[in-house]
Amino acid sequence: MILILVMLSGCSTNADPNTAKSKEEGQASETFDGEKLQIVTTIFPPYDFVRKVGGDKVEVTMLLKPGMESHSYEPTPKDIIKITNSDLFLYAGGESDVWVEEILEGSDKEVNSHALLQWVEPLEEESAEGMQVKEHDHEHGHAHSEEEHDHAVHLDETEYDEHVWTSPKNAMVIVDEICEQLSVLDRENAAYYRKNAAAYEEELKALDAAFETVVSQAGRSTLIFGDRFPLLYFVKTYGLDYYAAFPGCSMETEPSAATIAFLTDKVKEEKIPVIFYLEMSNGKIAEAIAEATGAETAVFYSGHGITAEDLLAGEDYLSLMYRNVETLKNALDSE
């Protein structure tokens, strides 16, 4: 039995997204038989996108349960059965999803699987000035053997950020790809999926425009995160600068004194009014910096996961991102 000790989120390391193609690529599609399509996703963004496009024609399962800490996730035998029996399986992609490749390669069935990282222009991971980076951050919590680790390191030194959905422009591309997948699986309802996708993409365009407006009217362009930083696609999309305690895939939780001092000095130098931390984070690093500088703290939603309370209340990708629109206004205020 393969021992799978993995984390579901984080940055893809040493993996070229162009080589992580679906096992179903090039195969003939099957016509839908009238039952609801069974879609499985690892995380919240594709889960929500599938809900919006598929409507009542699909049944979608999210493996990462609401409120669950993604870094400690391990697929259960039940999860593996859901994946192998699905009509479509969506995951982030990259080295942090090595467990996915192991499941797909070990399955007796061909699984119609797609990595979100394949569908957009990937960005290489980067470390901002002052960011605390340790070599083992890039192991992503995997229990690799020495041979497996050497293979991962030397196969391809390029690292890619997997958090592609943090840019609404990427979200539009992903939604379009999901629509095409559903339309191929269920040709009879293709017009339904395309109508839903078109309507949802209009909402994503409005979200994109809202962010553009905030940034264009802002008095500053620098964000400070007292946390991990899984928002590279977001800041690159809107031309923002950033400083953070850790990279987006870091396993670290305790920053060095030098990192805290660097971020504190940056807040004071640039008169930054807001220190951000991520949803489902304890916010302690942001609070420490805020206490030393007089700044406020606020949550910035990466959208990677969702709390049980928010899901029950009907929150979704759009509503979480619109929360970011409002907090961004305060953070970029020149006063």
Q: 292-324: per-residue pLDDT in tens?
A: 999 999 999 999 999 999 999 999 999 999 999
On whether the 220-331 domain is CATH 3.40.50.1980, my answer is yes
Contacts of 269 (CB under 8 A, 6+ apart): none
> What does DSSP say about strands 274-278 and 160-161: parallel, antiparallel, or unpaired?
unpaired
pLDDT of res. 190: 98
Q: Residue 274 forms beta bridges with which residues?
A: 296
For the segment 139-168, the average pLDDT, to the nearest whole number, is: 59
Confidence of residue 70 (pLDDT cuts 50, 70, 90): low
Nearest to 273 by CA among 212, 224, 213, 240: 224
pLDDT of res. 93: 86
Q: Name which of 3-12, 34-43, 55-64 the model is least confident about.
A: 3-12
pLDDT of res. 96: 67
For the segment 42-63, the average pLDDT, to the nearest whole number, is: 97
Averaged confidence pLDDT in the chain: 84
Specify the pTM.
0.84
Confidence of residue 27 (pLDDT cuts 50, 70, 90): very low
For the segment 26-38, the average pLDDT, to the nearest whole number, is: 60
Looking at per-residue pLDDT, the higher value among 248 and 230 belongs to: 230
Confidence of residue 24 (pLDDT cuts 50, 70, 90): very low
For the segment 10-29, the average pLDDT, to the nearest whole number, is: 41
pLDDT of res. 101: 83
DSSP letter string, 268-330: HHHT--EEEEETTS--HHHHHHHHHHT-EEEEE---S---HHHHHTT--HHHHHHHHHHHHHH
pLDDT of res. 226: 95
Reported as type and span, the H/E element at residue 161 is strand 160-161
Confidence of residue 210 (pLDDT cuts 50, 70, 90): very high
pLDDT digits over 81-123, tens only? 999 999 999 999 866 677 888 888 888 889 999 999 999 999 9
Confidence of residue 217 (pLDDT cuts 50, 70, 90): very high
Token pair of 124, please? 């290489």
pLDDT of res. 9: 40
pLDDT of res. 98: 75
Nearest to 207 by CA among 77, 62, 326, 127: 326
Looking at per-residue pLDDT, the higher value among 226 and 93 belongs to: 226
pLDDT of res. 8: 39
